[in-house]
Amino acid sequence: MKADLAKYQQELNQELENILNFWKNFTLDEVNGGFVGKIDHNNHIDEAAPKGSVLNARILWTFSASYSLKKDPDYLAIADRAFQYIKDHFIDPEFGGVYWMLDAKGNPLDAKKQVYAIAFTIYALSEYFIASQIEESKVLTISLYNDLLSHSYDQKKGGYFEAFSRDWKALEDLRLSDKDANEKKTMNTHLHVLEAFTTLYRIWPDENLKNNIINLINNFTSKMINRETGNLILFLDEDWNPKSSIISYGHDIEAAWLLLEAAEAVHEEKLTGEIRILAVQLAVVSQKGIDPDGSLWYESNPSNNHFIKEKHWWVQAEAMVGFFNAWQISGDESFLTTSLYNWDFVKSKIIDHQNGEWFWGITETGEIMASEDKVGPWKCPYHNSRACIELIRRIGLELANGCENR
């Protein structure tokens, strides 16, 4: 086991460097500033592409976290660039929050306030403060946190509404993308609000923030778990009534470790014990989406027993961490085996060994999804780099402790 873990860690260190080199070498926009908005499957840059807030926040998070791990000054320089661009272009100076989309030159293109994007900006700015100790980033992220509490928090039922106009008025279309249901509350947004608040709490241990983290965790355990299947409920109305039966294997396994990370961050022993049990349960139900080749399928619909067996890059990244986490909690080596097999699949099918970065995914019949972006509003360095960073740290601890006392 020690040899397998050491090899896993060594390969992840190399892959993290490969991912970061791709983003350093290909994504800097030297004409308009910041980073380019789109690179296609064949590494062709679309210089006129709009620039998404999620993409830029995830770049900032990635290079900040990578600097904290590796102390490479080049990584901090990229994080500095991302911070400056977000501060100058994405932050709305009049109404607060962040713009959803800019044009290629950095002007607001879609000024709506999507809570998902604001959460990622809080997450990124908090991580940047850890790396840089620049006080301005801490002040800015606390300001965005207060924006969410003022405008998005549901004072009656709890949780956070999805989206608003630039000046925080109600919208008819709340969706993140065409794939989503038009509902007022979603599991996905709540997961990333929780992730953001957890990182913010590390730099700002505010008691009200701690309570909001605990409330979010309780929202998951009481409102967003399907009691029949054990999977997460993706879409809900404002009263927390389920509005979807779709199972998202990637979100289930991602939530398994992010929920535990949040519980551990606030140092609530009873809550942490409950979430440790839930994390393993989510890993168990996620295993139903494991393909014989080691990959994790995209989603399924229990109402008609239909599976979408595409293997998307982000789902594999989360599987690597989530199943490793389940092994650390339970000691069940089948979870570790699943994480290792998934990494084997990523090395074989998902990493673009010729042009760099990871392909969007593989179809059910084994073809590369070549019509999808290499870089874009949703194709970012966050899931794959975070998987590398998280596992490098976790494996280091396991090796230091002799792989005992989990």
Domains of the chain, first to last: 2-400 (1.50.10.10)
User: Residue 390 in contact with residue 3, Cβ under 8 Å?
Assistant: no
Q: Give Cβ neighbours of residue 78 (< 8 Å, ≥ 6 apart).
A: 23, 24, 59, 63
Please, which pLDDT band fits residue 404 given cuts at 50, 70 and 90? low
354 exposed, middle or buried (CB, 10 Å; 0-12, 13-18, 19+)? exposed
Task: State the pLDDT at residue 184.
Answer: 96
Query: For the segment 227-274, what is each residue's pLDDT rounded down to a tens digit?
Result: 999 999 999 999 999 999 999 999 999 999 999 999 999 999 999 999
Q: Please report which confidence band the pLDDT of residue 305 belongs to, taking 50, 70 and 90 as the band edges.
A: confident
Question: By C-alpha distance, which of 216, 217, 223, 219 is closest to 241?
Answer: 223
Q: What is the pLDDT of residues 236-245, one digit of tens each?
A: 999 999 999 9
Predicted pLDDT at 119 = 98
Question: pLDDT at residue 364 above 80?
Answer: yes
The pLDDT of residue 362 is: 98
Given this model, what pLDDT does residue 179 score? Answer: 85
For range 177-190, the mean pLDDT = 94
Average pLDDT over the chain reads 97
Share of the chain above pLDDT 90, in %: 96
pLDDT digits (tens, 9 = 90+) for 55-109: 999 999 999 999 999 999 999 999 999 999 999 999 999 999 999 999 999 999 9
Interval 289-298: pLDDT, tens: 999 999 999 9
How large is the average pLDDT for residues 24-35?
A: 97
**CA–CA gap between residue 169 and residue 335 (Å, rounded):** 45
Helix (H) or strand (E) holding 306: strand 306-308
Strand order from edge to edge, sheet including 51-52: 51-52, 101-102, 108-110
Q: At residue 405, does pLDDT exceed 60? A: no
pLDDT tens-digit readout, 104-145: 999 999 999 999 999 999 999 999 999 999 999 999 999 999
Position 176 scores a pLDDT of: 86
Rounded mean pLDDT of 331-347? Answer: 98
Look-up of token digits 């908005």: 37
